[in-house]
Structure 1
Amino acid sequence: MTNPSAAQNQATPDAIPNSWVDRAPDTVKPYLRLMRADRPIGVWLLLIPCWWGLALGNLALANAGSAGGLIALWHGVLFVIGAYVMRAAGCTYNDIVDQDIDAKVERTALRPIPAGAVSVKQAWMLLVALSLIGLVVLLQFNRTAIITGLSALALVAAYPFMKRITYWPQAWLGLTFNWGALVGFAAANGALRPEAFAIYAAGFFWTLSYDTIYAHMDKDDDILIGVKSAALKLGANTKPWIGVFVSIALILFGLAGVLIGASLAFFIGLLPAAAHFFWQWRKLDINDGHKCLTLFKSNRDAGLLLLLAPLCELAARLI
């Protein structure tokens, strides 16, 4: 078994080297690692769909002759806080459920729970604290946004078990991680409209793409311990399917623009994201773990580039 005192000073292989977490006091370092504070990409991937929905919801307000103004900026900040704590809560819950599996996988064996640096009881206490902070953030929004946010709890609770029963846990993650697009739209607009569901569906296929790339890093261990993933299901056919997934994501994002009555500015704003996805697809080598990790992390940029479309439309309407 891993020595807990040594484990608390060791990051997992895919963490950012020499991050601020490495300089934190030893008493809190395991908890920060449990929260994935040294791996911020997950916060971005949870946050960005919230911003998509927020921007699109403000476009819908503009169509109705209203404007979000400073409240939209305040909502954007709330989503930063909410995404950070809820991603941390999700990772903590995932590690509680997966502790036995994580102990058998080289990349995850040093996570705080299987390494013995944090007990399961301590992890549950952290999870409750983080969830309460997330609830306080959610309660700052309108009734529709609050109900929409709370309705995601079943998806979150079921996610860690999906890799045990289906080859498509990445699809379940897509349903879960992009729920913020609906919450963001509802926070801005006070209601859910077809364009909100279009952008949510776009996020689903985006997540299906990037998390399948990520899953190729673990495929050998997954086979060994008997869990499933889209990487194992698609195998050598992964690359063409990644092309299909990102193409559908772009089409659905464009559909959201059509439904909102967007001008040409919206669709021009999609071009940088399309170029980025093409670059990802060209560079993808499913047998190169380092390249898979690099491309997975590049989806922060992909998501922000997709955000350009509604922002360009908002800017065009202000000019």
Structure 2
Amino acid sequence: MSMTAPAPTPAPSRLSLYLNLIRWDRPAGTYLLLWPTLAALWIAAGGFPGLHLVAVFTLGTFLMRSAGCAVNDVADRDFDKHVKRTAQRPVTSGLVSTREALVFGAALALVAFALVLTTNGLTIAMSFAALAISIFYPFTKRFLSMPQAVLGVAFSFGIPMAYAAVRGEVPAEAWWLLLGNLFWVLAYDTEYAMVDRDDDLKIGIKTSAITLGRFDVIGVTSFYVIALAIWGWTGWRAGLGAWALAGLAGAAAQVVWHWSLIRERRRDGCFRAFTRNHWLGFSVFVGVLADLAFR
């Protein structure tokens, strides 16, 4: 009886590699950027900000998150190969070269910049700062004890840009919303870091989960509470009412659920908490949307 060798697995297409590079099949990261940015747009405009700005910031968020993934994979390629979850990423596995990934990321960023050019001068100027922070973040894992704070600024910069695009200025409430969002990022990215803590300790990466140590669960929960408190106070100051409060209450209920997922520090629970975080942001956004719609 003859045995036939199994057919070799076909090499992935360039399209599938690029889609993998930008996490096309994992859109949760885009949502984490999108919901607070859209909430800021609505608050800044006092209602619907117009199709043009919604389109610019929605598409721009997707493009910049995708470009950020490409830069991050290049920066972390020597670390990712030591982590089972990331070892098969296109750049780490060698299927996409570092130059190719950077060119692709730059092309995406240029398209996003073309969208920003349809807004105003202040928003255009702020986009350069946003880009610089996004490029800087992946390298902070080498020397900052809590690089998630830099990610928090990068992931929150759409908020003041939204105000700039709507009002032509960035008032104090925009920076308060950014601060609240930064604490939200600290919360969910620490959950993410808890998944890879053992691997990160071996390879020498610095993360908030390592820095917080046995206070990680308390830290994450505190970050959530601070984020919701700042958002609630800022929303009240901006004139938001019961519907926005209901959205925050829905987010607070999810914080309790997240605590139950991460309190035993199991990898699957921490990863599940991280990947479900966009629902918390969605709850806050829907509350803002409803509040402004039913005034």
- Distance in 2, matches of 1:109 and 1:203, equals 30
For 1:36, which of 1, 8, 23 is the aligned residue? Answer: 23
Q: Is the 8 A contact 1:86 1:134 kept in 2?
A: yes
2:42 match? 55
1:199 CA displacement: 1.0
Which residue identity lines up with residue 133 of structure 1 in the other structure?
A: V
Q: Is the 8 A contact 2:148 2:207 kept in 1?
A: yes
Matched, 1:187 2:174: no
- Distance in 1, matches of 2:239 and 2:200, equals 45
1:63 match? none
1:237 match? 215
- Distance in 2, matches of 1:247 and 1:8, equals 47
Deviation digits for residues 261-319 of structure 1, max 9, x if unmatched?
Answer: 333443233211111112212332353111111111111100011113322321232xx
Trace 1:31-180 onto structure 2 (pairs within 5 A): 31-59=18-46, 69=48, 71-180=49-158
Instruction: Give the 4+ runs in structure 1 shifted more than 4 A.
Output: 5-9
- Distance in 1, matches of 2:53 and 2:9, equals 41
Matched, 1:217 2:204: no
For 2:287, which of 299, 303, 309 is the aligned residue? Answer: 309
Q: Is the 8 A contact 1:145 1:186 kept in 2?
A: yes
- Distance in 1, matches of 2:139 and 2:263, equals 28
Which residue identity lines up with residue 72 of structure 1 in the other structure?
A: G
For 2:14, which of 27, 44, 47 is the aligned residue? Answer: 27
**Could you say if the C-alpha distance between residues 7 and 297 of structure 1 is closer, same or farther in structure 2, counting changes exceeding 3 Å?**
farther
Q: For the aligned residues, what is the CA RMSD?
A: 1.9
Deviation digits for residues 29-80 of structure 1, max 9, x if unmatched?
Answer: 1111111112111111121221121011012xxxxxxxx65x5233222222
> How many percent of aligned residue pairs carry the same amino acid?
36
**Could you say if the C-alpha distance between residues 40 and 268 of structure 1 is closer, same or farther in structure 2, counting changes exceeding 3 Å?**
closer
Q: Is the 8 A contact 1:195 1:255 kept in 2?
A: no
Unpaired runs of at least 5, structure 1: 10-25, 60-67
Which residue identity lines up with residue 237 of structure 1 in the other structure?
A: F
**Could you say if the C-alpha distance between residues 161 and 7 of structure 1 is closer, same or farther in structure 2, counting changes exceeding 3 Å?**
farther
**Could you say if the C-alpha distance between residues 222 and 73 of structure 1 is closer, same or farther in structure 2, counting changes exceeding 3 Å?**
same
Q: How many correspondences in the alignment? A: 288
Unpaired runs of at least 5, structure 2: 1-7
- Distance in 1, matches of 2:246 and 2:24, equals 35
TM-score, length basis structure 2: 0.92
Q: Is the 8 A contact 1:270 1:308 kept in 2?
A: no
Deviation digits for residues 78-105 of structure 1, max 9, x if unmatched?
Answer: 2221111111101101111221111222
**Could you say if the C-alpha distance between residues 308 and 224 of structure 1 is closer, same or farther in structure 2, counting changes exceeding 3 Å?**
same
**Could you say if the C-alpha distance between residues 126 and 8 of structure 1 is closer, same or farther in structure 2, counting changes exceeding 3 Å?**
farther
TM-score, length basis structure 1: 0.85
Deviation digits for residues 228-258 of structure 1, max 9, x if unmatched?
Answer: 1111111221111122111110111012113
- Distance in 2, matches of 1:308 and 1:161, equals 34
- Distance in 2, matches of 1:8 and 1:107, equals 20
- Distance in 1, matches of 2:289 and 2:182, equals 21
- Distance in 2, matches of 1:286 and 1:131, equals 39
For 2:228, which of 234, 250, 256 is the aligned residue? Answer: 250
Deviation digits for residues 152-180 of structure 1, max 9, x if unmatched?
Answer: 12211210111110220111111111111
